[in-house]
Amino acid sequence: MRVTIFGSGYVGLVTGACLADAGNHVVCVDVDAGKIERLNRGEIPIHEPGLEALIRRNSEAGRIEFTTDAVHGVEHGLFQLIAVGTPPDEDGSADLRYVLGAARTIGSHMNRYCVVVTKSTVPVGTADKVRREIEQTLKARGAPGEFDVVSNPEFLKEGAAIQDFMKPDRVVVGTDNPRTTELMRALYEPFTRNHDRLIVMDIRSSELTKYAANAMLATKISFMNELANLSERLGADIEKVRVGIGSDPRIGYSFIYPGTGYGGSCFPKDVQALIRSAREVEHEPQILAAVEAVNARQKEVLVAKIRQHFGEQLKGRTFALWGLAFKPNTDDMREAPARTIIDRLLEAGARVRAYDPVAAAEAKRIYDGNESFELARNAYEAVEGADALAIVTEWQEFRSPDFERLRQLLKTPLIFDGRNLYDPAMVGRFGLTYHAIGRGRPVEGR
């Protein structure tokens, strides 16, 4: 099939590469000429395991191409996928200027039937706005045009996006036309052959499904962080509580790990947008507001523990940080807890020496010119001579470190673990003082 994708960011690139790998001819359109030039040179602007090889293979086979030529894109595709960004506006609502801009572009150049698909995460009612935008543009041209608008939200996890697309849990399709249902079924058939995972619903329900899914996952994270803070005050161990409740199949183990809060490009933005949508229809979303408030507070917890240990005199101290990305297997630092922690330490006059396996370039861009922030080449270089180590992202390589070496390298044998990676008693046996999240009093090194 012929597919055009507007937007060559995270969703657009993964979607395009996976659809091309199934044999479709995909054209990715972006207004950023520099990005298109890099993509045509084989340079991938994001870190996602397996994506570079997938794009290279399909580029060489002629199944995917990258261009700034919107006219070519509109002429090419039976499916016109809108996968542009929807950044939060100042009031927390989703900014639809790029989505509606893509709709106008489609309306300006379409000359035959096409299916316009919103892949971007958008508020309920956006498909109606996309439809009106295209209709008005066609009317201004004096051009006839037949098209359908479909909502097809993405459910891709950063770090596992290709697997999620190739073997989806579900494919949600919002449509008001049986014809588009069958076209969308045909597009996704290579990925759902062993079991039909297409879930068809009305457009508004499809748009809300995406926000509801992310809000539910964010709620689980904030709820566990709330329990972790309570557990710490009651002298309980949240890790034992987690195992106890996760064994209940009604709850399960996913997204019940306490830590330093959620981040990334989806959960913070989508919770805020859903709150805004609720208030626009005069409904106060009390749970969602609490989820957001708990998360904002949780990002401050590790620094609060550091202050409790050292007092307010952090000026001149050096803190090692393991992990910068908001989660493993990505270089995405948008809304990452590490940014809050770094900012608070720098504001207090401390120095930060950080290490992340893949997010160093992004961190350098963010903190460029700040002499109190430096990047280490490896985990052990980061801790050398530091007053303490703070663990913020649960990268695999941090799970079994050389504790004896850590004790020798650290100026003070002290770990603040924001991801509860280790057994406290074991760390203490190596002579390290260990502060965790929700695990009672810190374990003193022996």
Our answer to whether residue 266 is catalytic in this structure is yes
Closest CA to 63 of 30, 18, 6: 18
What the block records as the tokens of 235 is 């002298």
The per-residue pLDDT for range 380-419, each reduced to its tens digit, is 999 999 999 999 999 999 999 999 999 999 999 999 999 9
Query: CA-CA distance, 260 to 419, in Å (whole number)?
Result: 7
| Stretches in the chain below the pLDDT threshold 70 | 446
The 10 Å Cβ neighbour count of residue 384 is 14
What pLDDT was estimated at residue 441?
87
Number of H helices, E strands in the chain: 18, 14
What pLDDT was estimated at residue 195?
79
What pLDDT was estimated at residue 313?
87
What pLDDT was estimated at residue 144?
85
What the block records as the tokens of 405 is 């070496």
What pLDDT was estimated at residue 89?
77
Farthest-apart Cα atoms in the chain, separation: 81
Helices (H), 335-398: 337-347, 360-366, 379-383
Candidates 18, 28, 114, 266; catalytic one:
266
CB 357 within 8 A of CB 395: yes
Q: Quote the strand ranges of 180-261, DSSP E.
A: 198-201
CB 70 within 8 A of CB 32: no
In terms of Cβ atoms closer than 10 Å to its own Cβ (0-12, 13-18, 19+), residue 56 is: middle
Residue 432 C-alpha from the chain's centroid: 33
DSSP class of residue 392 equals -
The 10 Å Cβ neighbour count of residue 182 is 11
Dihedral class, residue 23 (left if φ above 0, else alpha if ψ from -120 to 50, else beta): left
What pLDDT was estimated at residue 83?
96
User: Does this model's pTM top 0.85?
Assistant: yes
In terms of Cβ atoms closer than 10 Å to its own Cβ (0-12, 13-18, 19+), residue 179 is: exposed
